[in-house]
Amino acid sequence: MATQAPAGPRAGERIFLVDGNNLVHRLFHATPPSFAPADGTTPINAVVAWTRRMRALRLRYDPHYLVPIFDGPGDNWRRELYPEYKAKRRPSPAELDSQWEPIWRVSEALGLSPVRQASLEADDLLGAYTEAAVAAQLEVVVVSNDKDLMQLIRGPDRGPGSVRQLNPFSGRSFGPAQVEAKFGVPPALLADLLALAGDSTDNIPGVPGIGPKIAASLIRDWGDLAGVLANASLVRQTKRSQSLLRNADSARLSRKLVALRSDRPLPRALADIPRWTPSRRALDAFFGELGFASFELALDGFQPRE
């Protein structure tokens, strides 16, 4: 009698966790506008670019599993904690907003299992799935160019229990050594560095006058954020010392905002994630609704500008 294969990922297999919102936004802005042949008005540039990128990841890296992870609907806990969080970002254009649902659908047609959780950002879910995958001794690759997610990276460089980050545009891979070379601190202290330096993109306040290089130097001197704040009066530069003393609460708030809540429950158990097996029939059916004869014809001619 044949033995049934165990359900879910097995130790040593490779799983790609894709920062869905980050990648979709980048692809949308890098790809010329295009519209579904079926009506000539439905925007599809992000849908097609997303499909192309997923196919490229499969052809180049052939991961056993790939999970697209998206922001959930509703306000998230960071905005409740700090209403100014991401307040300076421009509203998402309507031409992109209309493509989120078809991006979800084409992901399913690709044989993937996209996930999201109401009132939770993709970053936290990426952290939660990373922790679950490490516990299962998978080789984890976080597909993103977001520096905040580099705090998830850990050794060994490759193999079971490892976590590295792959920039899907440059193809550059970051492990623990690359993170420390770039920021001056290991991944485990990256949230402390960002808490001191702040982040204008997400409107994280940080400490005025403290940039990434100074933050790294302070952390090397005093161990971590708590050590820096406890010894702020001993920092030699007077202005820097005073800024740390005056803005200690801002640094602590910033630390809460940049840290990932990796203890969130998974909307879909890791054991229920199927191996990546694309369906030609499902892809042709999806793109047929948009007016294409086949999914290959849909992908031809839609080249992102990178």
pLDDT value of residue 7: 62
Q: Quick one: which of 29, 169, 26, 20 has its CA closest to 95?
A: 29
Per-residue pLDDT tens, the chain, 306 aa: give them.
344 444 679 999 999 999 999 999 999 999 999 999 999 999 999 999 999 999 999 999 999 999 999 999 998 999 999 999 999 888 999 999 999 999 999 999 999 999 999 999 999 999 999 999 999 999 999 999 999 999 999 988 889 999 999 999 999 999 999 999 999 999 999 999 999 999 999 999 999 999 999 999 999 999 999 999 999 999 999 999 999 999 999 999 999 999 999 999 999 999 999 999 998 999 999 999 999 988 888 887 544 333
- Architecture in CATH of 187-258: Orthogonal Bundle (1.10)
pLDDT in tens, 284-300: 999 999 999 888 888 87
User: What is the pTM (predicted TM-score) of this model?
Assistant: 0.94
Three-state DSSP class for residue 167: coil
Round to whole Å and give the CA distance between 84 and 203. Answer: 7
Three-state DSSP class for residue 247: coil
pLDDT value of residue 4: 41
Q: Which residue intervals of the chain bear CATH 3.40.50.1010?
A: 14-179+261-299
Render 185-223 in DSSP notation, one character per residue. S-GGGHHHHHHHH-BTTTTB---TT--HHHHHHHHHHHS
Q: Which residue intervals of the chain bear CATH 1.10.150.20?
A: 187-258
Sheet holding 65-69, edge to edge: 65-69, 14-19, 139-143, 163-166, 173-174
pLDDT value of residue 296: 86
Residue carrying structure tokens 């630390």: 255
Q: Quick one: which of 48, 47, 100 has its CA closest to 72?
A: 100
Phi, psi of 139 (to 5 degrees): -90, 115
Is domain 14-179+261-299 given the CATH code 3.30.420.40 in the classification? Answer: no
Round to whole Å and give the CA distance between 182 and 274. Answer: 35
Cβ proximity of 48 and 75 under 8 Å: no
306 token code pair: 């990178």
